Amino acid sequence: MADRLPSTRGAVVTHTTEPPEPTGPAKRTRPDHAGRAVPAVRLGPRAVVALSLITLIGIAVFGWPLLADANSGLAHARDAPWLFAALLPLLVGVVIATIADDGMDAKAVAMLGVLAAVGAALRPLGAGTAGLEPMFFLMVLSGRVLGPGFGFVLGSVTMFASALLTGGVGPWMPFQMLAMGWFTMGAGLLPGPHRLRGRAECALLALYGALASFAYGTVMNLQGWTFIGGLSSGISFHPGDPLHDNLIRFFAYCAATSLGWDLGRAALTVVLTLTLGTTLLKALRRATRRAAFEAQVTFED
């Protein structure tokens, strides 16, 4: 609806309280259950560049030990402070780039804070027991509704806030922030934003949540495996060995140490997504629609 006020020059000032119609391919819209379009937070070209840069840096930081020689002095505990120092300004850069591309306003930042606080509060509920971490299903649903750029920032900020809340600050924290950012961003990149609804959409999100839960655990294993000593020769990291041999040992290490935790995380994410997904998706879309991201003031004669 619009409130019309006569101006002194015979024009009519219209304040639009509903989201405007998309004007380009960068805007992603999703019809809600009432048939109205609910826009995700727009991912513009500058935000894409910032996300691509931070992703490339993350891949390099996670994977460089596999390509280093035996005398490189491997220890992620040493490079973690440098990664954290680079990660925070890059995260701020993603937010600034999204704002500059007109994809995020004050209401979107406020929603980011609320969802990050809820996710951080959910994490201690499982206390990491057997991999039962309920925050993962919230990240999947939030990324789906609000888009990949918003999802990446949300995942990283939520992990940072939960680390402060639970006392889980350590050399692993910047790696967790990156991995959770990718986890949430992936949900925003899933297909079918216009067509899938109801059970079909929840099934897709549950499948993604299960696979991405294993991927998250695998990526985080790579962070610790390269400098953990005292393992048997069949699963320990051998600096300088061929990449193929180290990868075989790595997957053996994952199967022997973390498969049960990843399975618990995946199972809980699937159960919560299938049971609460429809209700929470509707609530997130309703909040997004009422927040009227990218609402504009227009002038009509």
Percentage of the chain with pLDDT > 70? 67
For the ranges 81-95, 136-150, 188-202, which has the lowest average pLDDT?
A: 81-95
pLDDT at 99: 65
Q: What is the mean pLDDT of residues 9-14?
A: 46
CA distances from 150 to 5, 51, 184, 236 (A): 35, 11, 9, 37
Q: Are 183 and 137 in contact (CB under 8 A)?
A: no
Least confident range of 67-81, 148-162, 260-274: 67-81
Q: Distance from CA of residue 162 to its chain's centroid?
A: 14
Q: Point out the least confidently predicted range of 117-131, 199-213, 270-284.
A: 117-131
Q: Tokens for 20, please give them.
A: 């405007």
Distance CA 105, CA 168 (A): 31
In one-letter notation, the amino acid at residue 149 is: G
CA distances from 213 to 116, 134, 206, 259 (A): 19, 11, 10, 11
Examine the pLDDT at 216 and tell me if it is beyond 80.
yes
Q: Which of 26-30, 223-227, 229-233 has the highest mean pLDDT?
A: 223-227
Q: What is the pLDDT of residues 159-177, one digit of tens each?
A: 888 888 776 777 778 888 8
Mean pLDDT of 16-40: 46
Identify the three-state secondary structure at position 4.
strand
Whether residue 70 has pLDDT greater than 80: no
Give the chain's radius of gyration (CA, Å). Answer: 22
CA atoms of 287 and 289, how far apart (whole Å): 5
Entry field: residues in the chain: 301
Q: Note whether 199 and 182 are within 8 A (CB).
A: no
Give the pairing type, strands 12-16 and 29-31. Answer: unpaired
**254 within 8 A of 217, measured Cβ to Cβ:** yes
